[in-house]
């Protein structure tokens, strides 16, 4: 059976001072009616104390299970970029906060910056 998400690239960004993992999506995944082909996850997601239980796999599962075929309004803008901040997404009896956007103003690549468990 083919992998749903395949690691395409792993690199350290000197500019952002973080590790970045780019995954290709090997199934039909849409967000805001746009076909999403890739997701980048950064280690900023779990660098902070208390976020050790967050993994790349957990984030990919949340996207697959909770955000596929969803339509969401951005919570704020940063420069011209729309930022999506999903508060209290329920997954496996826990609540998570996700912060992400479309990479470099594309409409087929999501960039995940923050994910952490909430009380």
Q: What is the pLDDT of residues 81-101, one digit of tens each?
A: 899 998 889 999 999 999 999
Interatomic CA distance for residues 70 and 72, integer angstroms: 6
Domain count, the chain: 1
Interatomic CA distance for residues 30 and 36, integer angstroms: 5
Query: pLDDT value at position 42?
Result: 93
Query: pLDDT value at position 69?
Result: 95
Asked if residue 50 has pLDDT above 80, the reply is no
Give the CA distances from residue 26 to residues 35, 41, 53, 79, 104, in Å, rounded to whole numbers and listed in that order: 11, 16, 25, 31, 21
Band (pLDDT 50/70/90 cuts) for residue 40 is very high
Query: pLDDT value at position 116?
Result: 84
pTM (2 d.p.): 0.90
Helix (H) / strand (E) containing 56 = helix 56-62
Q: Which domain holds residue 55?
A: 5-118
For a pLDDT cut of 70, what percent of the chain falls above it? Answer: 97
Write down how long the chain is. 119
């Amino acid at each position: 059976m083919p992998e749903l998400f395949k690691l395409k690239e792993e690199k350290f960004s000197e500019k952002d001072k973080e590790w970045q993992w780019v995954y290709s999506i090997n199934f039909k995944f849409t967000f805001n009616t746009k076909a999403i082909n890739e997701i980048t996850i950064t280690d900023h997601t779990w660098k902070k104390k208390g976020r050790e239980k967050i993994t790349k796999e957990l984030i990919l599962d949340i996207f697959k299970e909770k955000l596929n075929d969803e339509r969401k309004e951005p919570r704020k803008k940063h420069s011209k970029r729309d930022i999506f901040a999903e508060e209290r997404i329920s997954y496996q009896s826990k609540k998570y906060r996700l912060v992400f956007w479309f990479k470099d103003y594309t409409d087929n690549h999501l960039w995940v910056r923050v994910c952490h468990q909430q009380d």
